[in-house]
Chain A
Amino acid sequence: MTGSLFERSETLYRRRRAANRLMTGVMVLAVVVALVPLFFILFYLVTKGIGGLTLDLLTQDPNRPGRPGGGVRNAIAGSAIMVGLATAIGTPIAIGCGVFLAEYGQNRLGTVIRFLVDVMAGIPSITVGLFVYGLVVLPQKGFTAFAGALALAIILIPIVARITEEMVLLVPRSLREAAYALGAPRWRTVLRVVLPTATPGIVTGVILALSRIAGEAAPLLFTSLGNQFFSTDVFQAMDALPLRIFVYAVGPYDYWHEQAWAMSLLLVGAILVVSLIVRALFGTRVTVRQ
Chain B
Amino acid sequence: MAVTTLGRSGHRLRLMNRLKPGDWLFTALVSAAAMVVLVVIGGLFYELTSGAWPSIREFGPSFAWDTTWSPSQGVFGAGSFIVGTAITSVFALVFATAIAVFVALFLVEIAPRAVARPVSYLVELLAAIPSVVYGLWGVFVLGAFIRDQLGPAITRAFGWAPFLDGTPLPTGLLNACLILTVMILPTVMAVSRDVIAAVPRSQREGVLALGATRWEMIRLAVLPYARSGIMGAAILGLARAVGETLAVTLVIGNRVGIPDSIFDPAYTMASVIANQFTEVESDLHRAALIEVALVLLVMTVLINVVARLLVWRVTKGQRAVVLE
Choose one: A128, A242, A257, A287; the contact of B323 (CB below 8 Å). A287
Contact A260 B136 (CB under 8 A): yes
Contact A109 B5 (CB under 8 A): yes
A and B contact pairs by CB, cutoff 8 A, 5 listed: A30-B100, A123-B41, A126-B245, A130-B47, A246-B250
Nearest-neighbour CB distance to chain A for B95, whole angstroms, equals 9
Contact B141 A249 (CB under 8 A): no
- Tell whether A290 pairs with B131 under 8 Å between CB atoms, given A117-B37, A218-B246: yes
Contact B41 A119 (CB under 8 A): yes
Which of A33-41, A54-62, A80-88 has 4 or more CB atoms under 8 Å from chain B? A33-41
Contact A289 B141 (CB under 8 A): no
Give the total of B residues in contact with A, Cβ under 8 Å: 104
In the complex the two chains form, what is the Cα distance from A187 to B13 in whole Å? 11
Interface membership of B129, Cβ < 8 A: yes
Q: Which of A178-198 contact B (CB under 8 A)?
A: 180, 183, 185-188, 190-191
Interface membership of B161, Cβ < 8 A: no
Contact A186 B320 (CB under 8 A): no
Which of B71-79, B151-159, B200-208, B289-297 has 4 or more CB atoms under 8 Å from chain A? B289-297
CB-CB contacts of A160-192 with B at 8 A, as 1s and 0s?
A: 011100100000000000001001011110110
Which residues does chain B contribute within 8 Å of A131, judged by CB atoms? 43-44, 47-48
CB-CB contacts of A239-271 with B at 8 A, as 1s and 0s?
A: 000100110011000000100110010011001
Which residues does chain A contribute within 8 Å of B214, judged by CB atoms? 20, 24
Contact A103 B323 (CB under 8 A): no
Contact B213 A16 (CB under 8 A): yes
Contact B40 A120 (CB under 8 A): yes
Choose one: A33, A96, A124, A288; the contact of B33 (CB below 8 Å). A96
Majority secondary structure of chain A interface residues (helix, strand, loop or mixed): helix
Contact A128 B270 (CB under 8 A): no
Contact B33 A185 (CB under 8 A): no
Interface membership of B190, Cβ < 8 A: yes
Which of B55-63, B162-170, B181-189, B255-263 has 4 or more CB atoms under 8 Å from chain A? B181-189
Contact A106 B7 (CB under 8 A): yes
Which residues does chain B contribute within 8 Å of A107, judged by CB atoms? 5, 7-8
Choose one: B103, B187, B305; the contact of A27 (CB below 8 Å). B103
Interface membership of B68, Cβ < 8 A: no
Interface residues, chain A, with chain B CB atoms under 8 Å away: 16-17, 19-20, 23-24, 26-31, 33-35, 37-38, 40-41, 44-45, 48, 92-97, 99-101, 103-104, 106-107, 109-110, 113, 115-128, 130-131, 133-135, 154, 157-159, 161-163, 166, 180, 183, 185-188, 190-191, 205, 208-209, 211-212, 214-218, 221-222, 225, 242, 245-246, 249-250, 257, 260-261, 264, 267-268, 271-272, 275, 279, 284-290
Nearest-neighbour CB distance to chain B for A254, whole angstroms, equals 11
Contact B182 A209 (CB under 8 A): no
- Tell whether A134 pairs with B323 under 8 Å between CB atoms, given A23-B215, A97-B36, A120-B40: no
Nearest-neighbour CB distance to chain A for B49, whole angstroms, equals 10
Instruction: Determine the residue in chain A with the shortest Cβ distance to B36.
Output: A93
CB-CB contacts of B172-198 with A at 8 A, as 1s and 0s?
A: 000000000010011101100000000
CB-CB contacts of B272-296 with A at 8 A, as 1s and 0s?
A: 0110011000000000001001101
Which residue, of A97, A271, A286, has the highest number of chain B Cβ atoms within 10 A?
A97
In the complex the two chains form, what is the Cα distance from A239 to B125 in whole Å? 26
Contact B301 A103 (CB under 8 A): no
Contact B40 A157 (CB under 8 A): yes
Contact B297 A180 (CB under 8 A): no
Nearest-neighbour CB distance to chain A for B258, whole angstroms, equals 22
Contact A126 B126 (CB under 8 A): no
Which residues does chain B contribute within 8 Å of A183, judged by CB atoms? 17
Which residues does chain A contribute within 8 Å of B94, judged by CB atoms? none
Choose one: B9, B34, B127, B278; the contact of A113 (CB below 8 Å). B34
Contact B213 A246 (CB under 8 A): no
Contact B100 A34 (CB under 8 A): yes
Nearest-neighbour CB distance to chain B for A182, whole angstroms, equals 12
Choose one: B132, B190, B240, B243; the contact of A287 (CB below 8 Å). B190
Nearest-neighbour CB distance to chain B for A209, whole angstroms, equals 7
